[in-house]
Structure 1
Amino acid sequence: MRSSIRTAAVTAIAVSALLMTGCSADTTGGDSGPVELTYWAWAPNLDKVADIWNESHPDIQVTVNKQDGGDPAITKLLTAIKAGSGAPDMIQAEYQKIPTLVGSDALADLSEYGADDLEGNFPSGAWNSVTLGGDAVYSIPQDTGPMLAYYRTDILSQYGLTVPTTWDEYADTARALHAADPTKYLGTFSANDAGWFAGLAQQAGASWWSIDGDAWGVDIDKEATQQVASYWGALVEEGVIDNKPMYTPEWNAGLNDGSQAGWVSSVWGPGVLAGNAADTQGKWTAAEVPQWTAGEATNGNWGGSSTAVTTQSKHPKEALEFITWLNTDAEAIQALVDNAGIYPADTKAAAEALTESPEFFSNQADFYTVAAAAASAVNPFTYGPNVNVAFSAYNDEFAKAADAKTQSAFVSAVTNMQKITTDDLKKSGFNVK
């Protein structure tokens, strides 16, 4: 599997002149002094976590270089890889960026240093994302974003409604709520959040890319994604679900005044709610997202990142030692929770570190029990080397569909995403199945 991924990716990189030979690895330290490692990351306060490591590991010292964010850091890394110098030893990498980085020969395969022994620490969906479904280990999961649904239970109770457990129930509840009070919606379809929609498709069983030998496949326009698009398009056409984008002033106001009485989101939702609708604290409940089939337990992921070692690092073994500690050690995980506010990917460490509900959900003692169940149910999902193109296509095509407010427009948007993504892969020189 590993050679197939690299063969498919390198074909395109050769055409686009992105692939340059990295520095050869050297796992030995210098003649004197500690091994010095650099770590590019954007999560807050990671330097405080690294300080804990540095204090107890004088022979391996880590310096965190704060980056502006996910995409700028990745672009900066690819520039350094192309130049053959200037890359850090380690980088924080979102899961959807890993195929692009692997295709650019930017990430070291950590399996030769024993990283595959860590598989049991993480949910299968997270591990699949860092291995691309093969034997190589390109990164170690740090945090995940299992999807959760949030509801204003005070509003639901006012109209005799309950938290839905299936998507059929969600639709019925949305209809009943909007009929009882036309100013209120159970949620919104956001045409500018491709990661959100990808997570919903993932829950339905979709995987937007696939690998077959030396060829990539694009599988966006398949039954699972069409099912999700058709479902939301029908609710928008019916008028019982809103279609304003998330994170706008209007949407924020809706969280405060109750016109947005629900939000299908992720485990990091409490921070958004606390920041945008502080006065509604205690009025929300978190639940697993509705299921397509009653009694099943499937989920998608929206967000999260990992820690990778670059091919230019001269100390990959020591770098792996640090990132193993960072993402699996109980003290490190607690520090990540306290300082960076993450939801840890390590299943056991997360349970030990997250013993109290987020302050905004102090009324719900089982918040992290619900979150753990959601995390364990995440389906595998393969990202491709042009995820940026697919996500951009989502924004463009679903913006048109949201304006049209018809179910057929939502379905057509998926078909258009498929064509745009496939055409881009071929244009970039990839072998496309």
Structure 2
Amino acid sequence: MRKKFGALLAVVLAAGLSAACTSDSGDADQGAQPGGKVELSFWAWAPNIDKTVDAWNAANPDIHVTLSKQAGGGDIVTKLLTAAKAGNPPDLAQVEYQSLPTLVSNDVLADIAEQAAPVKDKFAEGVWQQVTLGTDAVYAIPQDSGPMMFYYRADEFDRLGLTVPKTWDEFAQTARTVRQKAPKKYLTTFSANDPGWFTGLAQQAGASWWGINGETWNVSVNDAATKKVADYWGGLVAEGAIDKQPMYTPAWNKALNDGTLIAWPSAIWAPGVLAGNAAATKGKWAMAPMPQWAAGENKTGSWGGSSTGVTAAGKNKAAAVKFAAWMNADPAATALLIKESSIYPAARDAQSSPLLQEPPAFFANQKDFYTSAKAIAETASGFVWGPNVNVAYDTYKDAFGKAITGRTPFSGAVDTMQTATVADMQKNGFKVAS
């Protein structure tokens, strides 16, 4: 794919970088070095993101960005908290969406709503909501997204005479049919070790776990939508219609490879996982929109994704936002992120990049893979994250694991998540509405 689009990419990059060279940077010289040069520091973990930073620096000699590669996930959050407390955080950092409120509540990130406003419309509403807290405070620019979709073994569906389920009711019936026609197989599994997966399913159903009004947090991890999702999957596990083994284990890999598991509700990045963990099934999978809770609906949730935040202590916020907006919304930059960092961009236009015209190699038979993915991404539900996602997620693993082994209702596990999340927030001084 790189060879095929190499020439076209060069044209796109040249045009974009030329535009970047001529862009006005006069509002970004606060705290500039002698001679008017602004120096920015940037922490990130995306592979080869240095290529994108180098392109910016080549085109913007007055705003120089120095990259420091970091470990992702909770590691970078811990380091940012420590650096901010010591008074020396970077100007920008790559941050997962669910980590933003933790950094905001510790005064690490700046509200960039005014500076970021020009690029807001370049992102789907659901994605933009993930960088927004309260009514209008914005703390980052979206970088990549993880819209969820339905992956299935097309060959097994044909062999068993199955149709792709369009609703969750049809999904449940399909799961039962698989067990009847092929008792050694399961449609899919419920994983008690993947809270992000479950959160995406809950988002699609309309869940809203956190909300903030002024200084007061509303917490509803056990809202009606989430309990509906929990009861649905708990019921399928209880009747044996689906498997209950965790994902990302050798046993799970084997089940994907040998056809014991023939479907996986997952996210846009799933082809890479399947290629690495189920190589024997290359070319046998297909992708479709997620089943819906009501016929005719068109919604999905998200599993994963990150953003670029600007720190509150930085002296060059205008310049930092300019770089973050360019990196995540400019065609030249997003082309580099796709090509070099293998991300699925959050920006709408980037999802139609020439680099995304061919399907992933693992899905070579589905020529419309990225066209369909773009349409699905537009339907992702918004979601407000809270300041202690780690507590909710850790409790999920424990509570759902116990529910599976103890054969108790999954709705009880959701109640346990709610209790633990609220207690932790109150313990740490957050005001939580009763």
TM-score (norm 2): 0.91
Deviations 1:85-104 (A, max 9, x none): 2x111000111111111111
CA contact (8 A) 1:45 1:340 kept: yes
- Hey, what's the Cα distance between the residues in 2 that align with 1:430 and 1:400? 29
What is the SS of the residue equivalent to 2:179? helix
Q: Which amino acid aligns with 1:169?
A: E
CA contact (8 A) 2:29 2:38 kept: no
Question: Does residue 84 of structure 2 align to residue 81 of structure 1?
Answer: yes
- Hey, what's the Cα distance between the residues in 1 that align with 2:69 and 2:259? 38
What is the SS of the residue equivalent to 2:432? coil
What is the SS of the residue equivalent to 1:98? helix
Aligned residue for 2:25? none
Deviations 1:113-136 (A, max 9, x none): x21121100011111111125222
Q: How does 1:296-307 map to 2 (within 5 A)?
A: 296-307=297-308
Question: Does residue 37 of structure 2 align to residue 37 of structure 1?
Answer: no
Deviations 1:313-350 (A, max 9, x none): 11111111111110011111111001111110001121
CA contact (8 A) 1:47 1:63 kept: no
Uncovered stretches (5+) of structure 2, i.e. residues with no partner:
1-27
- Hey, what's the Cα distance between the residues in 2 that align with 1:46 and 1:296? 37
CA contact (8 A) 1:274 1:360 kept: yes
- Hey, what's the Cα distance between the residues in 2 that align with 1:115 and 1:314? 17
> Offset at 1:33?
6.5
Aligned residue for 1:397? 399
Aligned residue for 2:5? none
Question: Does residue 75 of structure 2 align to residue 72 of structure 1?
Answer: yes
Question: Does residue 345 of structure 2 align to residue 344 of structure 1?
Answer: yes
> Offset at 1:111?
2.5
Aligned residue for 1:107? 109
What is the SS of the residue equivalent to 1:395? helix
Aligned residue for 1:361? 363
> Offset at 1:26?
7.6
Aligned residue for 1:417? 417
Aligned residue for 2:196? 195
Deviations 1:30-78 (A, max 9, x none): 1136322111111101001111111111111112111112211110000
- Hey, what's the Cα distance between the residues in 2 that align with 1:355 and 1:405? 46
- Hey, what's the Cα distance between the residues in 1 that align with 2:127 and 2:175? 32
TM-score (norm 1): 0.91
> Offset at 1:352?
2.3
- Hey, what's the Cα distance between the residues in 1 that align with 2:168 and 2:34? 62
> Offset at 1:306?
0.3
- Hey, what's the Cα distance between the residues in 2 that align with 1:204 and 1:190? 18
CA contact (8 A) 2:134 2:213 kept: no
> Offset at 1:235?
0.4
What is the SS of the residue equivalent to 1:296? coil
Q: Which amino acid aligns with 2:289?
A: E
Alpha-carbon RMSD across the aligned residues, in angstroms, is 1.3
> Offset at 1:108?
1.3
Aligned residue for 1:325? 326
What is the SS of the residue equivalent to 1:183? coil
Aligned residue for 2:430? 430
Uncovered stretches (5+) of structure 1, i.e. residues with no partner:
1-24
CA contact (8 A) 1:37 1:61 kept: yes
Q: Which amino acid aligns with 1:55?
A: A
Report the count of equivalent residues: 405
- Hey, what's the Cα distance between the residues in 1 that align with 2:80 and 2:70? 11
Change (3 A) 1:327 1:135: same
Aligned residue for 1:214? 215
Q: Which amino acid aligns with 1:36?
A: E
> Offset at 1:212?
2.9
> Offset at 1:27?
1.8
Q: How does 1:15-414 map to 2 (within 5 A)?
A: 27-32=30-35, 34-85=37-88, 87-112=89-114, 114-353=115-354, 354-406=356-408, 408=409, 410-414=410-414
- Give % identity: 55
What is the SS of the residue equivalent to 1:397? helix
CA contact (8 A) 1:42 1:70 kept: no
What is the SS of the residue equivalent to 1:172? helix
CA contact (8 A) 1:333 1:350 kept: no
